[in-house]
Amino acid sequence: MGQQGMGVPQLVVIAPDSYRGHRIELTGKYMTVGREPACDVRLDDPHVSRTHAALQRRGDSVYVQDLGSSGGTFVNGNPVEGTKLQQGGPSANNPARDIDAEAMAGMAARLNRMMAETVTFRDRSAVARFFDGLEFVEPGLVQASKWRPASESEAASPAALWGGVARKP
């Protein structure tokens, strides 16, 4: 864990390579890490659970806690249960990735800005490729406005957003 500026702790990402070196300022007292858009720190990686871990500041200390992730969260190879991170010390990771205890918050802000700035438009066939190897279940892959429309007029106006439900065969 590093300190920069006005004493705000940071985490530095070590893996995956696409995030390596990103710094995340731990500006909040409690920050969630995961793939979900609602997470404070979004890591778009298949080895990260939707809501993977939590980072909690208590005074000058930062603690990491696994939130029931499928792969687990580890510090120096040991499963975490409210583990205190040390400045310049251990790295928090799951078996498929390492996230050093130095940067998780700065990266959150940066990644969220990057994600907001970088929009990739995909048509139905491009979105369908995300479901390769899966079996669609009702309603399948549909425009979001037709999923559960609030009104008939909403269902009649096409949305440029696709949603799908599928399962492993």
Q: What is the pLDDT of residue 167?
A: 92
pLDDT at residue 119 is higher than 60: yes
- Give residue 43's identity as a one-letter amino acid code: L
Contact 58, 65 (CB under 8 A): no
Q: What is the pLDDT of residue 91?
A: 47
Mean pLDDT of 119-146: 86
Task: Tell me the percentage of the chain whose pLDDT exceeds 70.
Answer: 63
Tokens of 35: 């793939």
pTM higher than 0.75, yes or no? no
CB burial readout 50-73, b (16+ within 10 A) else e: ebbbbbbbeeeebbbbbeebebbb
pLDDT at residue 84 is higher than 80: no
Residue with the larger pLDDT of the pair 160 and 27: 27
- Give residue 113's identity as a one-letter amino acid code: R
Contacts of 15 (CB under 8 A, 6+ apart): 93, 97, 98, 99
Q: How confident is the model at residue 143 (pLDDT cuts 50, 70, 90)?
A: confident
Q: What is the pLDDT of residue 87?
A: 62
